[in-house]
Chain A
């Protein structure tokens, strides 16, 4: 079982010190279908929790990417701009979106672990 945490907006978060790597979950990429475009936030931008950080566009729909945690954007996955299909192929690896230096680790308490997220998904169905 991984240390990955999840938000109710189907983003995943992996912590390394105070840096959170953020992507969208396997379930989210499956629901969206083939991702054709990703709009990423500017590096250095400060986001509050649940603020709109970017856009994920698939052949079916366009959805907002929300910041699961408050903090400052320190890195974005520029390779998604030219190859957005990585979001489908490898959502938990090469398909990551952004790295955020989070303001307060207390925010992590509101997120779900793998087990809780699977239960959350089961309730959705």
Chain B
């Protein structure tokens, strides 16, 4: 049975009314050479079991984080998600509740988002966090727009260590927006003088720590330079677990903090859906994009939750809204909140330590291999090595040996020959001693 609502008689009537002889007449503007000359070559329909087998056979060709030694990071990280997270987010009350438009009837959702915001503010060391953005990259672009509004300036300086995908997201927003971007080039030694690029038209400096090559940055000096010039410091964190171990951006003087929250509670999932975390200082809260949940008391004095400061938002301020985001990543934020609640503060710190130790073991092993130089002086759970051959070729050779060894920087910067031999290697609490051995042995073989 085909589920097409019109009958042949319906179609004949419609064609007669517009004076077309056949459906094909509607496509006369498509060049004849582009027309299909027969049905698309697909196998005939099959039963569920057959389809499952066919799909499993196709999926079996993949080499992925679940069935191979895995050292890929650069913005998406393989972490353990407790089974309880998936069980709880699938409760009907949560799973079916979209960001509430009649918010106060959804007290459970609002309470969860309030707790989420509290966690994000504590992790980032900031005063206030919103109910989440789509992901770290679009959150970064929103941070630049917010800095432009707050300072009434229109030039953003982007560090070369910012994830290139994030930089591209900001550039996309800038293309038809009324602001300039001064992007720095990624350099292998990571030394850049961002403070010297700040002038009286600079709205913000955007810097990532740990950066795309895994290096940690003490941003206190840069924060001072920004504030002295009336610009804001936007700090981007792509690996949120790092905040269990390193000084928070808020503690270093950040004005806006944007993070990718995937690492807590959310699977890598082929790149999404992900979770943007967004936090700022109290004094900028009215320029903040996104939804914000507040705690209050009802007329009987009982605790309740509301959407607050909605006058910033699109449904009230229309074209003058702070942002066109009028939703959030609700389910991903829920997964994050449940996982972080299960970990607790001590658990988060322990998780961070395990990540760093795994990276340390991996770096120590790789440093013993001829043709490998570890470039980082500092790192959290990810570091960059210089190889004696182009990294993209080495990674392909590692895949042939069943190992997913890392990310070649050339994947982001294909035209910069200086970066061709660099590979970024990530390790997490999931990384086993056996996996490190497998990478070490395979890499030694490939480079010999």
Contact = CB atoms under 8 A, between A and B. Distances in A.
Interface string A32-43: 000001010010
B286 interface: yes
Contacts of A64: 320
Contacts of A42: 152
A13 B312 CA distance: 28
A57 B312 CA distance: 9
A57 B317 CA distance: 10
Contact of A61 (B286, B312, B316): B316
A62 interface: yes
Given A57-B311, A61-B311, A37 B286 contact: yes
Interface in A9-57: 37, 39, 42, 57
Interface string B279-305: 000000010000000000000000000
A64 B318 CA distance: 12
Interface of B is mostly: helix
A42 B150 CA distance: 12
Contacts of B317: 62
A93 B316 CA distance: 29
Interface residues of A, number: 8
Contacts of B152: 42
Interface string B303-343: 00000000110001100100000000000000000000000
A58 B310 CA distance: 11
B289 to A, nearest CB: 15
A96 B396 CA distance: 69
Nearest to B321: A62
Nearest to B312: A62
A18 to B, nearest CB: 27
Contacts of B320: 62, 64
Contacts of A57: 286, 311
B152 to A, nearest CB: 8
A61 B315 CA distance: 11
B110 to A, nearest CB: 18
Nearest to A62: B311
A28 B311 CA distance: 18
Contacts of B286: 37, 39, 57
* Most chain B beta-carbon contacts within 10 A, residue among A37, A61, A62, A64: A62
A42 B153 CA distance: 13
A39 B150 CA distance: 11
A37 B309 CA distance: 10
A57 B285 CA distance: 14
A50 to B, nearest CB: 16
Nearest to B285: A37
A64 B316 CA distance: 13
Interface string B147-175: 00000100000000000000000000000
Q: Closest 5 interchain pairs by CB?
A: A62-B311, A57-B311, A62-B317, A37-B286, A62-B316
Given A42-B152, A62-B317, 9 more contacts: A37-B286, A37-B311, A39-B286, A57-B311, A58-B311, A62-B311, A62-B312, A62-B320, A64-B320
15 contacts: A37-B286, A37-B311, A39-B286, A42-B152, A57-B286, A57-B311, A58-B311, A61-B311, A61-B316, A62-B311, A62-B312, A62-B316, A62-B317, A62-B320, A64-B320
